[in-house]
């Protein structure tokens, strides 16, 4: 049985429907049928929330560097906080078969 994922080529992360963690993940969602890249045409939601004492993961660092994320001022007790939508060109995506 063929399954597919949607890969964001520049970061190596996969598209996943947002459940409060953003649209890019290290595992992504498995699709039993070939997905449509139009699902990602409206951009992606990027969420990076780090409280004091939290460490940045490899995924966090990839997102911060690629999307040039800047800390949002005004969030108390927070080291770094970004929750925003970003436009991503369709050419940055690839459907891969597993």
What's the pLDDT tens digit per position in 29-76?
999 999 988 888 878 999 998 888 888 999 999 999 999 998 766 666
Q: What is the pLDDT of residue 85?
A: 92
For tokens 């598209």, the residue is 15
Bridge partners for 18 per DSSP: none
| Bridge partners, residue 51, by sequence | 78
pTM tops 0.85, yes or no = yes
CA angle 22, 43, 13 (to 5 degrees): 50
Specify whether the CB–CB gap between 50 and 80 falls below 8 A: yes
Query: In the sheet that 4-8 helps form, which strands lie side by side, from edge to edge?
Result: 24-25, 13-15, 4-8, 93-97
Q: What is the pLDDT of residue 5?
A: 97
Rounded CA separation 9/95 (Å): 10
The HSE-up count of residue 82 (CA atoms within 13 Å, CB side) is 19
């Amino acid at each position: 049985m063929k399954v597919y994922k949607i890969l964001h080529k520049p970061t190596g992360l996969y598209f996943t429907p947002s459940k409060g963690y953003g649209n890019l993940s290290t595992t992504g969602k498995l699709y039993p049928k070939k997905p449509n890249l139009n699902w990602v045409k409206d951009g992606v939601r990027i969420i990076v929330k780090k409280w004091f004492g939290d460490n940045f993961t490899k995924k966090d660092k990839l997102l911060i560097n690629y999307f040039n994320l800047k800390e949002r001022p005004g969030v108390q007790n927070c080291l770094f906080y970004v929750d925003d939508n970003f436009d991503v060109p369709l050419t940055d995506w690839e459907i891969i078969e597993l």
